[in-house]
Amino acid sequence: MQLAVIEDRLEYHREIPAEQLAARRRVPIPFHVIINPQLSIAQASEVTFFEGCLSLTGFVALVPRALAVQVHCMNERGEPHVIDAEGWYARILQHEIDHLNQYLCQLRKAEALRHH
């Protein structure tokens, strides 16, 4: 079983300039759980932003991510659930699902560098 907790609280946004929030299409995301997520890219367009990780505090990388994704999963009650996400929410889901697959965002940067 794979499980991730997803959340992006309003208080995390308070010190971020409004222009930056808008550019990242970042809005508050309420606490929820995804179980056994299966991610698919809903929009091939990628955007690149700095991304950090609490697993490697202090390290950030410019990481390309899909702008929109769809995730099939179960919710915290074990019920089937489909999430259509875009912007920063899509980035969070990709980041957390990468963790479930033992992949760190800094490796995404290295992978992107190899392909350019």
Which residues are marked as active site? 96
Torsion of the alpha carbons at 109, 48, 7 and 70, rounded to the nearest 10:
-100
DSSP H or E stretch at residue 112:
helix 105-114
Torsion of the alpha carbons at 44, 101, 8 and 17, rounded to the nearest 10:
-60
Distance between CA atoms of residues 65 and 8, nearest Å: 17
